[in-house]
Amino acid sequence: MDDLKKWMPAALAVACLLVWSAGSAWAKDDVRPGSTRAHITVNDTVHGVLSSHRSLMSIKENRSALEHEVSKAQAGFGPRVDVSGSIGVGVLSDTTSRGLDVDDQWLSVGSVSAKLVQPIWDGFATRSRVRTAQATLDSVKARVFDTATSLSLDGIIAHIDLLRRIKLLELARTNVARHEAILGQARDRASMGADTQADVTQAESRLQRARSSLAEAEDALRVAYATYSRLTGIYTVGQLDAVPMPPDMPDTVAAFIETAEKHNPKLAAFLQDIRAAKGQKELAEANMYPTFQLEAGPEYSDRGGDRDRWVYSFDVLATVRWNVFNSGADVEGIRAASAREREARQNLYDYMDTLRLDMESTWSNYQAAKEQYKHYSDAVVNNTYTRQAYHDQFLLGNRSLLDVLDSENELYNSASQAETARGNILVGAYRLCALSGDLLPRMSVPEELVTGGPGEAKPVKGEDFDLGWFR
């Protein structure tokens, strides 16, 4: 019972650490990729992810491209200037050439013109292009935020997992040390005739299993370090600070789902996809209408020969063009665009169902992890007391060596499972925040880390074409 009382404060301290949700402010001295700062907070981890991950940089480049696409579509409302020129030879038969008897001669021909074209009405085709481009851009902006959230969650999980692997390695080393001590005691007792050689070999077998678990823990830790560095760009990892619980966690899954319906970025992206599909449908319908535009500009042409035969004109014209028959292609284009609009709407509904399932299952896993951690923590306290009692009784000859070895194994398993459950609580909490769409705002992540431009991508050797006309 004394041992039980001794372990209770430690268990309470661990529980307090678990539920600590201080909501730490964003660190001003953020860790940059390659940093060697001694302590790395979870905010530093998120900063590293958002500053260096190439997947986020790639979608930011796509966002930049679509910003230019919007400007390109808007330019369709303005005028354009077309300049053309031609030179060659030709035959012309008209009243003048026949009168000069040159209607069968090949003579030089040249012309030059400049034309200002101002669209007046195009069946709202330009407006549809602008709407489509803007909706596509808004969709990608939402997906940039979604990608930033997902990658940040991956970084946080890697941070949690790395801390867990470090703790599991400590437990594995302690387990090996305990088995080495037990083996030494078994050999001493066997030399005095208190135990048999079978007891010694049993202890040796358990020690080898403990060492195998240690090797597995070391391997898992190396992988965890590599995963963390890949996600964050921080390759010299110092001491990781403990990860607090997210601040202001809702008490029900319904509250999380309500938040997700308002703030989940992927939902916003799917909604913009529907708007983009509607814009494409409007563009297809624009083919059913005539177009009107204003054209103005000079034109000069000249034909060679022994007479002055140049022509100059300056015209200001209102033109109309209307394709009245296209073999049904325009009708089918409208039908295809309508199908794509319905497809985009189905994609939204499908994701809403998937999101609800993900949130409900994550909430269930989160609640189960809290229950597991409570029970495993109690098991650690009881296993510790049992192990010490069995060890004392073993030295007095009242317990077998197998009882001692089993108690050591049970304590190691309970402690490992408790640490895993503790990590699962944190992962579940942060995953719920990510699914609800408020992970980054909840952590007070600077907006410019998401809205800012992509990082530099240096040219890659071999990306340029070789000089040549045909290859």
What would the pLDDT profile of 59-83 be if each residue is shown by its tens digit? Answer: 999 999 999 999 999 999 999 999 9
In the structure, what pLDDT confidence band is assigned to residue 305 with cuts at 50, 70 and 90?
low
At 144-178, the pLDDT tens digits run 999 999 999 999 999 999 999 999 999 999 999 99
Higher-confidence residue of 74 and 98: namely: 74
Q: What's the pLDDT band for 29 if we cut at 50, 70, 90?
A: very low
Q: What's the pLDDT tens digit per position in 202-235?
A: 999 999 999 999 999 999 999 999 999 999 999 8
Cα 461 from Cα 441, distance rounded (Å)? 40
Indicate the fold that domain 2-77+124-287+328-451 takes in CATH: Outer membrane efflux proteins (OEP) (1.20.1600)
Residue 9 has pLDDT above 70, yes or no: no
Average pLDDT of the chain, as a whole number: 89
Q: What is the pTM of this model?
A: 0.85
pLDDT of residue 229: 94
pLDDT for position 35 = 47
